[in-house]
A and B are shown apart, each in its own frame.
Chain A
Amino acid sequence: PTVVYESSTKEDARLLPEKLTVYTTLVGLLNARNYNFGGEFVEAMIRQLKECLKVNMYNEAVHLVRFLSDLVNCHVIAAPSMVAMFENFVSVTQEEDVPQVRCDWYMFAFLSSLPWVGKELYEKKDAEMDRLLSQTESYLKRRQKIHVPMLQVWTADKPHPQEEYLDCLWSQIQKLKKDRWQERHILRPYLAFDSILCEALQHNLPPFTPPPHTEDSVYPMPRVIFRMFDYTDDPEVCDSHGGADFTVRFVGHYWSKCDVPSPRMVSGFKTSSDYILVIFAELFQLPSPPHIEVMYTTLLIELCKLQPGSLPQVLAQATEMLYMRLDTMNTTCVDRNSFTKNYCILSFDRSDCLTQDLEKPKPKFVREVLEKCMRLSYHQRIIDIVPASFSVLSPANPVCIYKYGDESNRSLPGYTVALCLTIAIKNKASNDEIFSILKDVPNPNQDDDDDEGFTFNPLKIEVFVQTLLHLAAKSFSHSFSALAKFHEVFKTLAESDEGKLHVLRVVYEVWKNHPQMIAVLVDKMIRTQIVDCAAVANWIFSSELAHDFTRFYIWEILHSTIRKMNKHVLKIHKELEETKARLARQHKRRDSDDDDRSSDREDGPLEEQIERLQEKVESAQSEQKNLFLVIFQRFIMLLTEHLVRCETGGIDVFTPWYKSCIERLQQIFLQHHQIIQQYMVTLENLLFTAELDHHILAVFQQFCALQA
Chain B
Amino acid sequence: MCSGGSLSILRSDSYVDLSQYRDQHFRGTRYDQERLLRKSCTLYVGNLSFYTTEEQIHELFGKSGDIKKIIMGLDKVKKTACGFCFVEYYARGDAENAMRYINGTRLDDRIIRTDWDAGFKEGRQYGRGRSGGQVRDEYRQDYDAGRGGYGKTVQCQ
Contacts and interface: CB of A to CB of B under 8 A. Distances in A.
A294 B55 contact: no
B70 A294 contact: no
A602 to B, nearest CB: 31
A298 B102 contact: yes
A257 interface: yes
Interface string B7-39: 101111111100000000000000000000000
Contact of A516 (B55, B66, B72): B55
Interface stretch (A11-19, A42-50, A82-90): A11-19
A369 to B, nearest CB: 13
Interface of B is mostly: helix
Contacts of A261: 10
B55 A377 contact: no
A295 interface: yes
A563 B66 CA distance: 10
Given A265-B6, A476-B70, A520-B58, A298 B13 contact: no
B57 to A, nearest CB: 9
A265 B12 CA distance: 13
A477 B70 contact: yes
A372 B56 CA distance: 10
B141 interface: no
Given A264-B6, A265-B6, A376 B56 contact: yes
- The listed residue with most A CB atoms (<10 A of its CB), out of B10, B54, B72, is B10
A258 B13 contact: yes
A402 to B, nearest CB: 19
Given A258-B12, A265-B9, A376-B59, A476 B54 contact: yes
A293 interface: yes
A516 B6 CA distance: 42
B154 interface: no
Contacts of A622: none
Nearest to B59: A375
Contacts of B59: 372, 375-376, 516
A10 to B, nearest CB: 13
Contacts of A477: 54, 70-72
A169 to B, nearest CB: 27
Interface residues of B, number: 32
A258 B58 contact: no
A294 B6 contact: no
Interface in B54-80: 54-56, 58-60, 63-64, 66, 70-72
A288 to B, nearest CB: 14
Given A298-B101, A376-B60, A377-B108, A475 B54 contact: yes
Contact of A294 (B12, B63, B107): B63
Given A258-B15, A258-B100, A477-B70, A294 B64 contact: yes
B101 A476 contact: no
Contacts of B15: 258-259
Nearest to B97: A292
A301 B16 CA distance: 19
A320 interface: no
Contacts of A378: 53, 56
A298 B105 contact: yes
Nearest to A301: B105
Interface hub of A259, A294, A564 (most chain B Cβ within 10 A): A294
Contacts of A260: 100-101
B81 to A, nearest CB: 10
Contacts of B105: 298, 301
Given A265-B6, A377-B108, A292 B60 contact: no
Contacts of B63: 293-294
Contact of B10 (A15, A292, A476): A15
Nearest to A12: B7
A256 B105 CA distance: 18
A293 B56 CA distance: 18
A523 interface: yes
A708 B1 CA distance: 44
B101 A295 contact: yes
A475 B55 contact: yes
B11 A15 contact: yes
Contacts of B10: 15-16, 256, 258, 261, 265
A372 B70 CA distance: 20
Interface in A284-322: 292-295, 297-298, 301
B59, B60, B64, B102 interface centre (most CB from chain A within 10 Å)? B59
A693 to B, nearest CB: 37
B58 A516 contact: yes
A258 B100 CA distance: 7
Contact of B55 (A259, A264, A292, A476): A476
A372 B101 CA distance: 18
B47 to A, nearest CB: 16
B2 interface: yes
B101 to A, nearest CB: 4
A520 B7 CA distance: 42
Contacts of B14: 258-259
Contacts of A517: 55
B154 to A, nearest CB: 28
Nearest to A292: B97
B43 to A, nearest CB: 14
B105 to A, nearest CB: 6
Interface in A46-105: none
A264 B7 CA distance: 11
A295 B100 contact: yes
B7 A15 contact: yes
A183 to B, nearest CB: 20
A292 B53 CA distance: 25
A322 B101 CA distance: 24
Interface string A237-265: 00000000000000000001111110011
Interface string B77-121: 000000000000000000001001110010110000000000000
A301 B35 CA distance: 33
Contacts of A564: 66
Contacts of B6: 264-265
A259 B60 CA distance: 19
B32 to A, nearest CB: 26
5 contacts: A16-B10, A258-B15, A294-B63, A298-B102, A377-B108
Interface of A: 11-12, 15-16, 19, 22, 256-261, 264-265, 292-295, 297-298, 301, 372, 375-378, 475-477, 516-517, 520, 523, 560, 563-564
Given A258-B11, A260-B101, 10 more contacts: A15-B10, A257-B13, A260-B100, A294-B101, A372-B59, A375-B59, A476-B55, A476-B58, A476-B70, A477-B72
**Interface pairs A-B: 4 shortest CB-CB:** A258-B13, A294-B63, A375-B59, A298-B101
Interface of B: 1-2, 6-7, 9-16, 53-56, 58-60, 63-64, 66, 70-72, 97, 100-102, 105, 107-108
